Amino acid sequence: MTSLGKLFRTTAFKLALIYLAALTLASGAVIVYLSQNTASLLHEQVVETVDAEISGLAERYRTGGIRGLVATIDARARQPGASLYLVTDFAGNVLAGNVEGLGERVFSGESGELQRVSYAPFGGGAKREAFVRVFQLSGGFRLLVGRDLREHQFFRDLLSEAMRFWLFVIAALGLVTWVFVSRRVLKRIDAMSATGQRIMQGDLSERLPVDGSGDEFDRLAVSLNAMLERIEALMQGLKEVSDNIAHDLKTPLTRMRNRLEEAMRQGGEGAPSDDALSRTIEDCDGLIRTFDALLRIARIEAGSSDAALVDLDAGELVAEVAELYAPVVEDAGGSLTVEAASGLGLHGNRELLVQAVINLIENALKYGTPEGADPLKVTLAVARTGDEVRLSVRDHGPGIGEADRTRAVQRFVRLEASRNLPGSGLGLSLVNAVARLHGGRLVLEDAAPGLRAALELPLGKAKAGKQGNEGGVGDGG
Amino acid sequence: MATGARGELLRRAGLRAVHVHPASNGEIQTIMRILIVEDDVEAANYLAKALREAGHVVDHAADGEAGYELAATAPYDVLVVDRMLPKRDGLSVVSTLRGEGNHTPVLVLSALAQVDDRVTGLRAGGDDYLPKPYAFSELLARVEALGRRPRQQEVETRYTVGDLVLDRLSHTVSRGGQDIPLQPREFKLLEYLMQNAGQVVTRTMLLEHVWEYHFDPQTNVIDVHISRLRGKIDKDFDKPLLHTIRGAGYTIRDISR
């Protein structure tokens, strides 16, 4: 995942988008409301001004006649920022004013109606917009008073400019917020997940960073840390218990075994037979073995990091085990073949992986004999599937029914078919635990006929050369 | 004393029926001075007794401090040190001794069940490692192998047992002048057995030194390999050299020369 892609996928990004949309909508509404209100206010102002001027000029006409009116208008029209004035006689000739280029239509309208027109200022210039009102004077004279709309236009432009600027600011703010929030959040979340990964790899002493700001992440980290503390205490307890069990139970077992051996060595009158003694020693050893396997599984599953992981070559590892076991399979009247791809690296614990493969081979030896007269056939394979290395052991026996496959991996579970065979029911559990320690899994499949037990493990670095392989005696037979 | 110890060793080794003439024996069975550092008194007494029966001289220390004092002042051939000890941890005793230049071979005993226990044990300076509970035969075989170690450092290029000769340089094996072709692993197996000729070598020791695997083999893996080797070096000859020691392991020796 690219860091940018990661940034886009954050909650902060979504929040920033929503925030941006909401703010845009709200400010849009405000601006629309504002501009409408202002427009109507300005309009009213125009109407009032025009009306006031009309009534003033009408008054002037009544007192001073047309001459007086024209004189007043001439005087007013010259002032800067003046309103628009136009006086015509009954024939439509202009007597005074500062407007021209108005259509004839303007005067045909009802008297007193406010009209929006375009006009040219007196003395030339670009056409402008204005609101005008025509007032019918007695004697056929018509008086036109209006206000230029430049101010309106100016104000509207100002508003839309402000609106654009505002939108830009919002967008920029949203972007900045998003980048800041998501980087900060991502940083903390990434720190948390990195710590989580380390913890999952077995280092339970790790804690999530707490920066003391008391924000929601801090509170989350604090409660997760409390949880981790508890888990660590529990795991520590488990470790202590198993160490104590190891010590306290193994000590009497050692003594028991010692006495049996001593009795066997001394023999003499009235001593139990060597056979009984050696069978008891065997049972004792079986007990110890089961017990060791259990502790081992518990340890591996607890993920305690005391299993050193190194780079290994999967093919070499399997070939070595095959070399050790081939004569055993042959003595059982069968054959063991290896189909190993070369150059597949594994990052793992050699001891545990070897033990896992051996357990699978032992299972094939025990349960993999085909029904009928066919000889035992065991196939070890190492292959790559995607980013994984698959170490599989296949037999041609009756296999394990689909319903039993999950159960077969559990501790002490011994399927019906194997009840009368020796074994502790821990073999596959150990393999499973080893697979999980390496970040992989144990898969049981129907190889029709037979069972294929596969360890699917993450592909590691291909091991360069053969040196550095502490146990790698490269002379596999 | 040596004769008695020899007889005792063979009796323990399950060779009671074989008559051994002490003087005719080509192997050397040295008497070793062994220090046991173990807090479990009963286990220690048993171990001391059994080691004495095997012909060795044994001292016992019940805690780490006492063990260190003894090991640092008296010359021992082998130290057997438990990991969990009162007063001072077994591994710290070993690493202190090593730091002082004391290179007495150490066998570390441990009841811990950690996956890489052995590695920590050996890293601290132990020469061999045995998890508890152990079979005495296993411990004895390892202690004797450790006690012999210094002499082996003079590199021998040829091992001879009876008329069986293994040449480490040319990688050849012959018996009675007759070449015996061996697989590389079989050669390694025979090499290790002959290196420890006359001594009992356990299945676990073979698995560790020949295959470099450290666990208890569940099936008869080693037996199968031994029987194949036996088929090559003993089968066509009237006098067997590779013997099975019941309840312990194997040994290669020329008994009736």
Q: Can you tell me the distance from the alpha carbon of A302 to that of A234, in angstroms, rounded to the nearest whole number?
A: 10
A118 within domain boundaries? yes
Across the interface, whether the CB atoms of A246 and B216 are under 8 A apart is answered no
Q: Is the pLDDT of residue B4 over 50?
A: no
State residue A3's pLDDT score. 63
DSSP conformation class of B88: S
Q: Can you tell me the distance from the alpha carbon of A383 to that of A389, in angstroms, rounded to the nearest whole number?
A: 6
Q: With the C-alpha atoms ordered A461, A465, A471, A474, is the resulting torsion angle positive or negative?
A: positive
> Which domain-ending residue is among A254, A273, A301?
A301
**Domain shared by B188 and B123, yes or no:** no
pLDDT in tens, A374-388: 788 888 888 888 888
Residue type, A393: V
Quote the number of domains for chain A. 3
**Domain shared by B43 and B138, yes or no:** yes
pLDDT in tens, A430-443: 888 888 888 888 88
Give Cα separations from A209 to A3, A206, A224, A226, B35 (angstroms): 22, 9, 10, 12, 50
**Domain shared by A296 and A315, yes or no:** no
**Domain shared by A381 and A425, yes or no:** yes
B139 within domain boundaries? yes
Phi-psi region of A92 (alpha: psi -120 to 50; beta: other; left: phi over 0): left
**Domain shared by B248 and B195, yes or no:** yes
CB atoms closer than 10 angstroms to residue A241: 11
> Which domain-ending residue is among B152, B185, B202?
B152
Q: What is the CATH number of the domain that holds A135?
A: 3.30.450.20
State residue A385's pLDDT score. 86
Q: Is the pLDDT of residue A348 over 80?
A: yes
Q: Can you tell me the distance from the alpha carbon of B190 to that of B251, in angstroms, rounded to the nearest whole number?
A: 10
B11 within domain boundaries? no
pLDDT in tens, A36-55: 888 888 888 888 888 888 88
**Domain shared by A15 and A148, yes or no:** yes
Confidence label for B5 from pLDDT (cuts 50, 70 and 90): very low
B95 within domain boundaries? yes
Across the interface, whether the CB atoms of B132 and A254 are under 8 A apart is answered yes
CA-based nearest distance B257→chain A, Å:
27
Residues in chain A with CB shorter than 8 Å from the CB of B131 are 292
B7 within domain boundaries? no
> Average of pLDDT values for A446-465?
78
State residue A472's pLDDT score. 36
**Domain shared by A291 and A354, yes or no:** no
Q: Is the pLDDT of residue B49 over 60?
A: yes
> Average of pLDDT values for B156-164?
84
State residue A473's pLDDT score. 38
> Which domain-ending residue is among A120, A138, A154?
A154
Task: List all residues of chain B from 138 to 177 with a beta carbon under 8 Å from chain A.
Answer: none
State residue A90's pLDDT score. 79
Q: What percent of chain A has pLDDT over 90?
A: 0
Q: Which of B12, B131, B185 sits opposite A477 (nearest CB)?
A: B185
Q: Can you tell me the distance from the alpha carbon of A198 to that of A372, in angstroms, rounded to the nearest whole number?
A: 51
Q: Which of A250, A256, A355 sits opposite B215 (nearest CB)?
A: A355
Across the interface, whether the CB atoms of A362 and B42 are under 8 A apart is answered no
State residue A418's pLDDT score. 56
Give Cα separations from B207 to A229, A360, B152, B192, B251 (angstroms): 41, 19, 20, 11, 15
The distance between the two most distant Cα atoms of chain A, rounded to a whole number of Å, is 162
Helix (H) or strand (E) holding A285: helix A274-301
Instruction: Name residues whose C-beta falls within 8 Å of residue B177's C-beta, 6 or more positions apart in sequence.
Output: B163
Q: What is the CATH number of the domain that holds A371?
A: 3.30.565.10
CA-wise closest residue to B136 among B242, B254, B51: B51
Q: Can you tell me the distance from the alpha carbon of A81 to that of A70, in angstroms, rounded to the nearest whole number?
A: 19
> Which domain-ending residue is among B135, B152, B169?
B152
A23 within domain boundaries? yes
Q: Can you tell me the distance from the alpha carbon of B91 to that of A4, in angstroms, rounded to the nearest whole number?
A: 52
Residues in chain B with CB shorter than 8 Å from the CB of A299 are 113-115
Q: What is the CATH number of the domain that holds B162?
A: 1.10.10.10
A38-52, A389-403, B142-156, B222-236: range with lowest mean pLDDT: B142-156
**Domain shared by B91 and B196, yes or no:** no
Interface confidence (ipTM) of the complex: 0.75
> Average of pLDDT values for B45-61?
89
Across the interface, whether the CB atoms of A250 and B111 are under 8 A apart is answered yes
CA-wise closest residue to A207 among A194, A216, B110, A215: A194
> Average of pLDDT values for A296-309?
69
Q: Is the pLDDT of residue A414 over 50?
A: yes
Nearest residue of chain A to residue B9 (CA atoms): A265
**Domain shared by B134 and B174, yes or no:** no
Whether B197 and B166 have beta carbons less than 8 Å apart is answered as: no
Q: What percent of chain B has pLDDT over 70?
A: 82
A74 within domain boundaries? yes
A90 within domain boundaries? yes
Q: Which of A246, A308, A470 sits opposite B116 (nearest CB)?
A: A308
Nearest residue of chain B to residue A352 (CA atoms): B115
pLDDT in tens, B169-224: 888 898 888 888 888 888 999 999 988 888 888 888 888 888 888 776 666 888 88
B245 within domain boundaries? yes
Q: Which of B11, B42, B184 sits opposite A477 (nearest CB)?
A: B184
A4-8, A135-139, A452-456, B46-50: range with lowest mean pLDDT: A4-8
**Domain shared by A403 and A263, yes or no:** no
Report the mean per-residue pLDDT for chain A: 78
State residue B18's pLDDT score. 33
Confidence label for A417 from pLDDT (cuts 50, 70 and 90): low
CA-based nearest distance A254→chain B, Å:
4
Confidence label for B7 from pLDDT (cuts 50, 70 and 90): very low
Across the interface, whether the CB atoms of B115 and A264 are under 8 A apart is answered no
Q: With the C-alpha atoms ordered B79, B83, B89, B91, is the resulting torsion angle positive or negative?
A: positive
Boundaries of domain holding B89: 31-152
State residue B36's pLDDT score. 92
State residue B190's pLDDT score. 92
Give Cα separations from A119 to A127, B70, B160 (angstroms): 5, 122, 129
Strand B106-110 and strand B128-131: pairing? parallel
> Which domain-ending residue is among B137, B152, B167?
B152
State residue B115's pLDDT score. 59
Task: List all residues of chain B from 14 to 43 with a beta carbon under 8 Å from chain A.
Answer: 40, 42-43
Q: Can you tell me the distance from the alpha carbon of A160 to that of A153, in angstroms, rounded to the nearest whole number?
A: 11
A91-100, A322-331, A449-458, B125-134: range with lowest mean pLDDT: A91-100
Residues in chain B with CB shorter than 8 Å from the CB of A292 are 113, 131, 216
A379 within domain boundaries? yes
Whether B175 and B164 have beta carbons less than 8 Å apart is answered as: yes
A58-67, A188-197, B107-116, B169-178: range with lowest mean pLDDT: B107-116
**Domain shared by B178 and B225, yes or no:** yes
B181 touches chain A (CB under 8 A): no
pLDDT in tens, B94-104: 888 888 888 88
Across the interface, whether the CB atoms of B137 and A243 are under 8 A apart is answered no
State residue B120's pLDDT score. 78
State residue A459's pLDDT score. 83
What pTM did the predictor assign? 0.62
Q: Is the pLDDT of residue B23 over 70?
A: no
A342 within domain boundaries? yes
Boundaries of domain holding A256: 239-301
**Domain shared by B113 and B166, yes or no:** no
Q: Can you tell me the distance from the alpha carbon of A137 to that of A88, in angstroms, rounded to the nearest whole number?
A: 10
B224 touches chain A (CB under 8 A): yes
**Domain shared by B210 and B104, yes or no:** no
DSSP conformation class of A464: P
**Domain shared by A33 and A74, yes or no:** yes
**Domain shared by B145 and B178, yes or no:** no
B2 within domain boundaries? no
DSSP conformation class of B87: S
DSSP conformation class of A416: G
CB atoms closer than 10 angstroms to residue A222: 15
User: What b/e sequence results for A77-98 when a residue is b if at least 16 CB atoms lie within 10 Å of its CB, and e otherwise?
Assistant: beeeeebbbbbbeeeeeebbbb
B18 within domain boundaries? no
Q: Which of A253, A331, A358 sits opposite B133 (nearest CB)?
A: A253
A240-249, B13-22, B126-135: range with lowest mean pLDDT: B13-22
Whether A255 and B42 have beta carbons less than 8 Å apart is answered as: yes
**Domain shared by B178 and B134, yes or no:** no
Q: Which of A246, A349, A473 sits opposite B212 (nearest CB)?
A: A473
B15 within domain boundaries? no
Question: Between A and B, how many residue pairs show a Cβ–Cβ distance under 8 A?
Answer: 123
Across the interface, whether the CB atoms of A306 and B114 are under 8 A apart is answered yes
Alpha-helical segments (H) within B125-253: 136-152, 184-195, 203-206, 221-233
What phi and psi values does residue A377 have, to the nearest 5 degrees? -130, 120
Q: Is the pLDDT of residue A30 over 50?
A: yes
Confidence label for B13 from pLDDT (cuts 50, 70 and 90): very low
- Cα B242 to the chain's mean position, in Å? 16
Beta bridge partners of A389: A384, A457
pLDDT in tens, A199-243: 776 677 778 878 777 788 888 888 888 988 888 888 778 777 776
Give Cα separations from B83 to A243, B87, B105, B107 (angstroms): 12, 12, 15, 10
Confidence label for B12 from pLDDT (cuts 50, 70 and 90): very low
Angle at B89 between CA A202 and CA A471, to 5 degrees: 55
**Domain shared by B123 and B229, yes or no:** no
State residue A78's pLDDT score. 81
Quote the number of domains for chain B. 2
> Which domain-ending residue is among A154, A169, A198?
A154
**Domain shared by A335 and A453, yes or no:** yes
**Domain shared by A354 and A319, yes or no:** yes
Q: Which of B12, B50, B112 sits opposite A246 (nearest CB)?
A: B112
**Domain shared by A268 and A321, yes or no:** no
Confidence label for B134 from pLDDT (cuts 50, 70 and 90): confident
> Average of pLDDT values for A457-475?
54
Q: What is the CATH number of the domain that holds B109?
A: 3.40.50.2300
Number of alpha carbons in the 13 Å side-chain half-sphere of residue B125: 20
State residue A470's pLDDT score. 39
> Average of pLDDT values for A55-71?
86
**Domain shared by B112 and B95, yes or no:** yes
CA-based nearest distance A276→chain B, Å:
13
Whether B98 and B120 have beta carbons less than 8 Å apart is answered as: no
